[in-house]
Amino acid sequence: MKVLIVYDGSQAAESELQDLQKAGLSDCADVLALAVVETWSSLEKAREIEKLAVQTKEYLRQEFPLWRIRAETVYGSPAREVLIKAESFRPDLIVIGEPCHEKTEKHTLLGKISQKVLGELPCSVRIARCQRGKKVRPARIVVGFDGSIGAQTAIDAVASRSWRKDSEVRLVVVNDANMASSVGHFPAPTGSLPGEAKLLEQLMEKTAEAPIRKLKAAGLSATLWMATGDPKDVLLEQAEKWHADSIFVGPNRIGRSFDRFMLGTISSAVAARASCSVEVARDRHRI
């Protein structure tokens, strides 16, 4: 697995490094730690980031001794430099730090680098937030599941990782107007047919059977949780109440993207507003 870690010396970047312990990354990783110095930074700031880049590499070597790690420092527009490096390195996953959210704060926007990378690259992107005061423990992972190809990609990403023993996954299914069309050739429910909601619930339970088996085969405890409401709100609320370490989502629903890796509104909102880390899962080989 090839991982690009974007680092700028900020507090969010420090949280990003701590979050790597909770990302389930395997020992067999080819890692590029990319320090980005903005063109207009002072000489003092540039030297500080360069020094931190060396320290970051040493930190990664200590925490993940089996990783193959190299570090680079680039100068310029951060978002542009990350896109250029991703084009040549071709990572499976990019990790970017974002500030931790307080419970009283309402965030609706991501940083410029995160927005650019999420919207323009075909690989998975992890928006890393290290929740304050949390000790490293078996992971709690929420997966947004609607039966689509994007949701299956999120399942595959979770199942392929190396998680701590007793880690748990909760597949969250939200019954909304578009659910039926995500899992097959069904018209979107209108609510006018008797028992329609119950039929859709049974359909999703059946659709989730194979993913749950796959997650359990990977050594994870996996359960299905169903609710009605706005998908992005339900995912965020469930992650908050369950004290999840991360949320995994697909980029969009099947057949609903105008671009081959365009970010959907649900994934975008969850990535921006979550208090925990969010990984938007893509398989670049499927694109």
Q: Reply yes or no on whether the pLDDT at 118 is more than 70.
A: yes
Asked whether residue 24 falls in the same domain as residue 130, the answer is yes
219 and 129, same structural domain? no
Q: Residue 176: what pLDDT?
A: 66
What pLDDT was estimated at residue 228?
86
User: Which pTM does this prediction carry?
Assistant: 0.87
Q: Which residue has the higher pLDDT, 112 or 197?
A: 112
- Write down which residue in 105, 135, 165 finishes a domain: 135
264 has pLDDT over 80:
no
Q: Is the same domain home to 207 and 173?
A: yes
Q: Are residues 175 and 124 in the same domain?
A: no
User: Do 156 and 174 belong to one domain?
Assistant: yes
In a domain, 60, yes or no: yes
Last residue of a domain, one of 135, 151, 178: 135
| Structural domains of the chain, count | 2
Partners of 280 in beta bridges:
125, 249
Q: What is the pLDDT, as a whole number, of residue 43?
A: 86
* Residue 251, CA distances (Å) to 50, 152, 166 in order: 33, 11, 28
Residue 184 lies in a domain: yes
Residue 179, pLDDT above cutoff 50: yes
pLDDT tens for residues 54-107?
Answer: 889 999 999 999 999 999 999 999 899 999 999 999 999 999 998 775 554 555
Same domain flag for 49 and 28? yes
pLDDT reported for residue 109: 63
Q: Are residues 160 and 59 in the same domain?
A: no
Question: Is 287 inside any structural domain?
Answer: no
How does the average pLDDT of the chain come out, rounded? 84
Closest CA to 223 of 239, 237, 205: 205
Predicted pLDDT at 259: 44
151 and 109 share one domain: no
pLDDT at 20 over 90: yes
CA distance 97 to 131: 12
Mean pLDDT score, 159-183:
82
Is 42 or 10 the better-scoring residue by pLDDT?
42
Q: How far is Cα 13 from Cα 11, in angstroms, rounded to an integer?
A: 5
More confident residue, 191 or 207: 207
pLDDT at 251 over 70: yes
Looking at the chain, the whole-number percentage of residues with pLDDT higher than 90 is 50
Residue 5 lies in a domain: yes
- What mean pLDDT is predicted for residues 201-207? 87
Domain ranges, residue 17: 1-135
Are residues 198 and 109 located together in one domain of the fold? no
Q: Looking at residue 107, what is its pLDDT? A: 54
The residue from 135, 164, 199 where one domain ends is 135
How are beta strands 30-38 and 124-128 bridged, if at all? Answer: unpaired
CATH code where residue 165 lies: 3.40.50.620
Does one domain contain both 56 and 98? yes
Statement to judge: residues 50 and 65 lie in one domain: yes
What distance in Å separates the CA atoms of residue 142 and residue 6, rounded to the nearest whole number?
24
